[in-house]
Structure 1
């Protein structure tokens, strides 16, 4: 009975150490930090153990190997007499001793695998933080008790790691990919609402997208000439009811200042006419380089305390204008509808009419395309088809990519105004050698 009790204790201690090893290693730092901030001392202890795991794992391996050796010795001596009696009931030949030994070995090994290894590790993987918090103090005490052995074996393992130029400690860096993976898991599990998931995803895109993907481009800018008469000023405001306008001297790149439409409205109400006197213009214009990311642009707006900025290129030419509303529409995505013409119009289940200025990142999300060829070479849908064809496309020119056909349907001079994107349900329906086809996959 004492031997059977010894085996039971060895299995119990083996389960404890196996469970502790997995739980400490698998416990999530993000969750532990939350518990630590709420005042959990054990969570702090687990975090410290994860930062310096060498001594802990050395102690675990010493304990597990000692238990395995003792289990083999005691188990064989304890079970062999019983297995011999069982074997003798059916066989009494020369191999009876070997069969009894093999049977006792299989029994003791199965017990240790099932109850000292498999089940404890599965429990620890299911709830690692709960188990880690319960065993961390005991593991620290045992590590301290076995300090001489821990120092010896941990020191030897560190020397081996340094010889092979491997790190001796784990660097825990939470990357964007880690956060996205957690969000996806939360969205699939239901703990994170779909709109929350999309909103957080849009936040990460602020650092990846640049101003040209959201700005009003140069050819679409409506501006006043400083010498324009009242009638033309009023007609422009009626046709393009913006909040703020650029005021230039003859051409767009000779910027004089900006003016708000409410200032012009006040003039009309007071005098009956609109005029662009220099004293009513805002001379302090915020300029932003076109290379800024949306995140950097938000910081620039915050510092300048303005909601309107002019985007310039490296040659100091105006390439567009951008507002806080433009940045917010990118950030909020389709969660909030802003006034204005939609860039993507769904025609049916397999086709979309897309503005040429639509950012390629918006198209990737809509069509669930992982990547486009040489994405760094262009930013818009029009830029994609121009890059792939190596020329300005003509009407009905198209390229195919990732199971979709991108066809130019509206060309204004050298500008690609609109494209028709169609999902290719059956590629055999397309003429294999159309006059203007370019395959993006080639």
Structure 2
């Protein structure tokens, strides 16, 4: 054959190999979510791609048959077509026993480079840019190619399956989407500007509802405002004026003897109707939802939805009240500072770029967000920053006790009746991997 004919055949082989490489990466990289959207929009080709991904053994066998056959044939034709011309060119500068070998090496290098560039590298990079669009575009011709190669592909697949079974290799693809996958997509969207910073923060907090327990967002026992059955009218009016809550617990004598709760608007109605507040009775006391402190916020949302309540009492395993929680508390957990008034007390106060004053009752998840810490040690053993200090110190903390972890120093600043009120958190230049406790003697 002439040089032109050889070049023409090699170009055709490169185009064929490039098509197979393009198709292989596109079909492997096409995301099922986008393909399902296209299929639901009425594109039958997208459904064909999904079916092929589910049963991809025949395609990959046919693809490898085509790619290897084209590469071998291209090498044979290329070497025979170009070597004589390279030998003639070399004879002008060198005459010796190595002329043929040099000509072979140059022709081999040229053909291999052409195949790598135009049949492998460029098609695969193009396929990675828009795998779903390319997969949908090439699905019909590739199915014809699979049918042509099916007899040989069947034999190759049978041998491959036998070897997989022999070495106990699981070939079933796991398409389950984890939180880590979704988080990675959200991070990519935030970096690309598709998600705004606050939107990214909201979505992360929504997923955290599955992991955060009720105590991380509740009003703790010592901060719960409640009425007793013998509460005086003056005391009721004073509490209504002092605390801007919409619901108040009603207890028999102490907080652990919960009877129900009363809505502030019911008391307001009695005041407007000039009725006495001295007696809290069944007409005003409502049945309160009682939940264990082991529930997650996501499970509590389901309870609120099924009972149509927005207020619940949290009890521990000893049937003692540990706090109360409302639907608004969950919304604040999700929305954060966007629903908290600026003038409200903040649990985390940033002093400068490297130090923070943080209340001991701050939920550990809020602290992790503020300090950009991914994981705390033994998180399952505590809910708050005070709990973290007690677990690490293995004692009731005192002022000046400190723990070093994750490049931060957590130092107790104020303790009130064994309760950690406030800590000073300082960023360190060096970041120890293990927590270090330094109790003050």
- What is the CA deviation profile of residues 308-363 of structure 1, one whole-angstrom value per residue up to 9, with x for unaligned ones? 11111122221110000000000112233258422112233322221211101111
| Residue 236 (str. 1) matches residue 239 (str. 2) | yes
Change (3 A) 1:134 1:435: closer
| Conserved? CA contact 2:314–2:323, under 8 Å | yes
What pairs with 1:58-137 in structure 2 (closer than 5 Å)?
58-137=61-140
| Conserved? CA contact 1:51–1:169, under 8 Å | no
What pairs with 1:205-354 in structure 2 (closer than 5 Å)?
205-271=208-274, 273-338=276-341, 340-354=344-358
**How high is the TM-score relative to the length of structure 2?**
0.93
| Conserved? CA contact 1:187–1:197, under 8 Å | yes
SS of the aligned residue for 1:345 comes to: strand
Structure 2 residue ranges without an equivalent (≥5)? none
1:410 is displaced (CA, Å) by 2.2
How many angstroms apart in 2 are the aligned matches of 1:57 and 1:273? 83
| Residue 423 (str. 1) matches residue 427 (str. 2) | yes
SS of the aligned residue for 1:419 comes to: strand
SS of the aligned residue for 1:102 comes to: helix
| Residue 43 (str. 1) matches residue 46 (str. 2) | yes
Count, aligned residues? 433
Change (3 A) 1:433 1:378: closer
| 1:440 alignment counterpart | none
| Conserved? CA contact 1:24–1:132, under 8 Å | yes
Change (3 A) 1:422 1:84: closer
How many angstroms apart in 2 are the aligned matches of 1:403 and 1:110? 50
| 1:31 alignment counterpart | 34
- What is the CA deviation profile of residues 236-264 of structure 1, one whole-angstrom value per residue up to 9, with x for unaligned ones? 22222311111111111111221112222
| 1:16 alignment counterpart | 19
1:391 is displaced (CA, Å) by 1.3
Cα RMSD (Å): 2.0
Change (3 A) 1:94 1:398: closer
Q: More displaced, 88-97 or 163-172?
A: 88-97
1:168 is displaced (CA, Å) by 2.4
| 1:373 alignment counterpart | 377
| Conserved? CA contact 2:316–2:322, under 8 Å | yes
1:269 is displaced (CA, Å) by 3.1
1:17 is displaced (CA, Å) by 0.8
| 2:397 alignment counterpart | 393
How many angstroms apart in 2 are the aligned matches of 1:96 and 1:271? 115
| 1:383 alignment counterpart | 387
1:368 is displaced (CA, Å) by 0.8
- What is the CA deviation profile of residues 362-388 of structure 1, one whole-angstrom value per residue up to 9, with x for unaligned ones? 111100112222111111011111111
SS of the aligned residue for 2:285 comes to: coil
**How high is the TM-score relative to the length of structure 1?**
0.93
How many angstroms apart in 2 are the aligned matches of 1:181 and 1:434? 37
| 2:416 alignment counterpart | 412
| Conserved? CA contact 1:249–1:255, under 8 Å | yes
How many angstroms apart in 1 are the aligned matches of 2:348 and 2:405? 18
| Conserved? CA contact 2:404–2:437, under 8 Å | no
How many angstroms apart in 1 are the aligned matches of 2:96 and 2:352? 82
| Conserved? CA contact 2:393–2:439, under 8 Å | no
| Residue 157 (str. 1) matches residue 160 (str. 2) | yes
Which residue, out of 348, 359, 363, partners 1:359?
Answer: 363
| Conserved? CA contact 1:52–1:169, under 8 Å | no
How many angstroms apart in 1 are the aligned matches of 2:97 and 2:395? 90
- What is the CA deviation profile of residues 287-315 of structure 1, one whole-angstrom value per residue up to 9, with x for unaligned ones? 11111111111111011111111111122
1:267 is displaced (CA, Å) by 2.3
| Residue 171 (str. 1) matches residue 167 (str. 2) | no
How many angstroms apart in 2 are the aligned matches of 1:374 and 1:426? 22
